[in-house]
Structure 1
Amino acid sequence: MSRPAPTDVAPPPTHYENFPVASWLCPPRLRPPIAAIYVFARTADDIADEGDATPAHRLADLHAFRADLAATAHGGSTSGRWPQVFGPLGAALLDFALPEPLLADLLSAFVQDIEKTRDGERYTDRAELLAYCARSANPVGRLLLHLYGVDDAASLAQSDAVCSALQLINFWQDLSVDLRRGRFYLPLADCAAHGIAPAAFDDFRPLGAAPPERAALALVAHEVAWARALMQQGAPLVHGLPGRIGWELRLVVQGGLRILDKIEALDFDTFSQRPAVGAADAPLLAWRALRMRRQSVR
């Protein structure tokens, strides 16, 4: 297996994220594997989502990417197409025994995204959407817990709740982007409960269109409350993790909650604008992270 020199570290993230990635809070020895996981997931996500490639082309590339993952995990030769991914990841797999199935789950979620968008399929209910989150987001948290040697059932369940909440937050944050791309994550059962036909979003128009109907805003408020409750369910994990990882997770939790605050401040209209956390939010996030108590995450 080809391995990078010990000083090689994956480049810092260049995409916007709601939470820190391999920050200075991480122990130095864990920064390379965490960065390798991030670059793996980010590159696969770009294959699935960026540019103007056809669905068939994206699926073929993800199939090749999956084959390279299998080759890397089992000491074989890769295609050589993504050396910046599988060089550092190979070292992480070897040195930290990262579970390959968790990495493969991420790829299966990207494949599902492409196929559902291609076929115009939608999520029936929250259970189906959470099943997607179990492969699109939860593996990242479990991989990080693996690096820190945490594997008890309670911690894994709380990690899953935090990661699924972050995925849901990203959905409700990105409505103005995803609807334009034909991606639809609002559960059909929730749409029906608010008297909204999914076809109402088919002719989605960006900023400058007529304001969304109150029912649509109420629907987003309903989804935001769900994501907040799920985050609160998993947030006690910050008190059960030792040292730096606990502080890192505090910022992750608070970053997600801050996005929900910003969605609420927009009267839940993320159909026409996309809120984001930035440098100006850092003092507030640090203060909220410092003040987190076992009884509350706010």
Structure 2
Amino acid sequence: MPVDHYENFPVASLLVPPQLRRPIEVIYRFARSADDIADEGDATAGQRLADLKAYHSELDRIGSGSPPQTPLFADLADVIQAHRLPIQLFRDLLDAFAQDVVKQRYADYPELHDYCRRSANPVGRLVLHLFGRTEAEHLEQSDCICTALQLINFWQDVAVDWKKDRVYIPQTDFPHFKVSEADIAASRWSANWAALMDFEIDRAQTLMLRGAPLVHALPGRLGWEIRLTIQGGLRILERLRQVRGDVFNRRPKLGKWDWVVLAGRSFRM
């Protein structure tokens, strides 16, 4: 189940109507390349921020009706115009990527949730705009699903993110469960750590289930795409519970058999 690096974006999936595959591919290229600017390679923080600012400038050109200066943004301008996509959603993504460059900790859950609002939710909203399903209820359900996927990725990758000096577990949660970042540094599992992870898992699961009814409002093939995505996220949470949050030694991932399970559960949604 892909729950990281925009691979939860339905890129050219066979479940996506043919006429929307190119727009989704273009949006994906924008998100993926901007994310790579923030995360990949050995560029300095200053260079990363400058490159992301250049992306902002290209969006400003699109917004003002001026021709973009790069092929990627020329393609993006066509997609934005053809489907009347809100440019602010693209700006939100860039703001989140820039935040990744300079911010490694989150004080509390509201602060983390605001990050997810900009780093994950725009993807789902853009897909809904492509399909013309922008009712407030559906946008909110999409936000729940996308934030849940982002949180699942964080809980799944606690140890991976630590190597990048990033901690997405809210700082206020550590003392409540009598654990600390020292436990992450030492890859130290304990009953207290398991309780913390159960708490975080519950947060993500609640959001995912709140957003799940969206599948009944979407066209057939997209609905199935989202069904599989939701069930994949829930399956990762299930695996996290099975290992009692021990992401240090047993990072959960899905295998071939899990896809059979996901398909069966998708039919029952």
Alpha carbons 2:183, 2:189 under 8 Å: kept? no
Q: 2:41 — aligned with what?
A: 51
Change (3 A) 1:28 1:18: closer
Q: 1:97 — aligned with what?
A: 84
Alpha carbons 2:106, 2:170 under 8 Å: kept? yes
Deviation at 1:90, TM superposition (A): 2.1
Size of the alignment, in residue pairs? 265
Deviation at 1:58, TM superposition (A): 0.9
Q: 1:88 — aligned with what?
A: 75
Aligned Cα RMSD in Å?
2.0
1:227 maps to 2:204: yes
Give, as a single letter, the amino acid of the residue that structure 2 aligns with 1:111. A
Give, as a single letter, the amino acid of the residue that structure 2 aligns with 1:282. W
Give, as a single letter, the amino acid of the residue that structure 2 aligns with 1:36. V
**282-291 or 155-164, which deviates more:** 282-291
- What is the 5 A alignment of 1:1-298? 17-18=7-8, 20-80=10-70, 83=71, 85-117=72-104, 122-198=105-181, 200-201=183-184, 204-205=185-186, 211-292=188-269
Change (3 A) 1:275 1:74: farther
Q: Which digits, 9 at most, give the CA deviation of each residue in 1:6-52, with x for residues without a partner?
A: xxxxxxxxx68356433111111111111111111111111101112
Change (3 A) 1:24 1:188: same
Q: Which digits, 9 at most, give the CA deviation of each residue in 1:123-168, with x for residues without a partner?
A: 1221111111111111111111111111211111111111110110
Deviation at 1:196, TM superposition (A): 2.1
Deviation at 1:228, TM superposition (A): 0.8
> Going by fraction, where is helix more abundant, 1 or 2?
2
The alignment's TM-score, normalised by the length of structure 1, stands at: 0.82
Helix, strand or coil for the counterpart of 2:229? helix
Percent identity of the aligned residues?
51
Deviation at 1:280, TM superposition (A): 4.1
Query: Structure 2 unaligned runs (5+)?
Result: none
The alignment's TM-score, normalised by the length of structure 2, stands at: 0.91
Q: Which digits, 9 at most, give the CA deviation of each residue in 1:191-216, with x for residues without a partner?
A: 12101234554xx25xxx6x423322
Alpha carbons 2:6, 2:31 under 8 Å: kept? no
Give, as a single letter, the amino acid of the residue that structure 2 aligns with 1:231. M
Give, as a single letter, the amino acid of the residue that structure 2 aligns with 1:89. L
**71-80 or 224-233, which deviates more:** 71-80
Measured in 2, the distance between the counterparts of 1:109 and 1:230 equals 20
Alpha carbons 1:48, 1:110 under 8 Å: kept? yes
